[in-house]
Amino acid sequence: MKIRKFETQEALNEAAADLISGLVLRNPAAVLGLATGSTPVGIYASLVRRYEAGLVRFKQTTTFNLDEYVGLPAGHPESYRSYMQNHLFKHVDLVPEQTFLPDGNAADLEAECRRYDELLAGAGRINLQLLGIGHNGHIGFNEPDHALLSGTHIVELKPSTREANARFFQSLDEVPTHALTMGIGSILKAESILLVVRGADKAEIVHRALTGPITTDCPASLLQTHADLHVYVDSEAGRLL
Ligand code: GLP
C-alpha cells in the first residue's frame, strides 16, 4: 500500500489526475473504474482541463462506474449517470457506448446486476479503480454487513448513508432507499486501486480501514489485501495515518 498525503486539495487532484491520465496515455484503451460522491469532483475537473488542453484523449477508453441509485427517474440530477455526464462524460471524447453504469431503473434489477457483471467480464480487467470511502467504511455502496457479495447486487442503503447523501437532495425522503453496486470481488479484481479520502470527518474511518482488522464490518478494510493500492489523502483525512 502506498499512502501519499497532500497539503492542498489542488495538489491531491493533480496527483490523482496524473495517475489516471498517465495510464490512459500509456494505454489509450484502458478500462477505468469510476466513482461518484464529492471526493472525485476536483479530479474529474482536472481531467477535463487536461483534455481541453489536448494533453489526453479518451476515445478508446472504457469506463465502469461503481454504483447507481435504484428508482431515480432518468435524467434526475442526482442520478450517478447525471453526475458522470456533468462532471466528466459531456466534456471529453469518451464514446457514450463505452461508459457503463448499472441501470437503476431496469425492470428486472437482478437481471441488470448479471448484465453488468457480464459487461465487466467482457471488458477484461479494470486497469485502475478510483474509490472514495463512506463514513461507515463503505466502498461503492458495499455497506458494512456480516457478509459481503463479490458481484454486482442490490443493496438497501443504511440510514447513515442516506443521511450523508441527503445533502444532495431536497429532503431525506427523496434519497433512494436502494442502490445497485459493483461487488467487493469486482473492485478487488482491478489491477490498481486509487482510494481518495478528504476531510477531518474521514480521518478515523480511513485509519480503521487501512490499519485495523480486515472485516466485513468495514468493507474498505478488504483493500488491505490488494497488491497495488494507492491511497491519496489530504492532511486532515490523513491525520491518524
Ligand atoms: C457515496 C458513494 C461512494 C462514495 C461515498 C463517499 O454514497 N456511493 O462511491 O465514495 O459515498 O462520498 P463522498 O465522496 O461524497 O464523501
| Rounded Cα–Cα distance for residues 174 and 241 (Å) | 36
The protein residue whose alpha carbon is closest to atom 12 in ligand 1 is: 37
pTM above 0.80, yes or no: yes
The answer to whether position 49 is within a domain reads: yes
For CA atoms 230, 86, 77, 80, give the dihedral sign: negative
| Model pLDDT, residue 74 | 81
Q: ipTM score of the complex?
A: 0.96
Query: Looking at this protein, which amino acid is placed at residue 5?
Result: K
CB under 6 Å to ligand 1: residues? 35-39, 66-67, 132-134, 140-141, 161, 165
**Residue 130 belongs to a domain with what CATH number?**
3.40.50.1360
pLDDT value of position 32: 98
Residue 97 lies in a domain: yes
In a domain, 106, yes or no: yes
241 part of a folded domain:
no
Closest ligand 1 atom number to CA of residue 161: 7
Is 68 annotated as catalytic? no
Rounded Cα gap, residues 228 and 141, in angstroms: 22
pLDDT, one tens digit for every residue, the chain (241 residues): 999 999 999 999 999 999 999 999 999 999 999 999 999 999 999 999 999 999 999 999 999 999 999 999 888 999 999 999 999 999 999 999 999 999 999 999 999 999 999 999 999 999 999 999 999 999 999 999 999 999 999 999 999 999 999 999 999 999 999 999 999 999 999 999 999 999 999 999 999 999 999 999 999 999 999 999 999 999 999 999 9
Residue 88 sits in which domain range? 2-234
Q: Is 135 a catalytic residue?
A: no
DSSP 3-state of 205: helix
Residue 175, C-beta contacts closer than 8 angstroms, at least 6 positions apart: 157, 162, 165, 166, 169
What nine digits make up the cell of 189? 479484481
Residue 102: C-alpha distances to residues 140, 150, 180, 183 (Å) = 12, 15, 7, 12
Residue 239, domain member (yes or no):
no
Cα 104 to chain centroid, rounded: 16
Nearest CA to ligand 1 atom 11: 134
> Grid coordinates representing 167?
445533502
Q: In total, how many domains does the chain have?
A: 1
- Is residue 240 included in any domain, yes or no? no
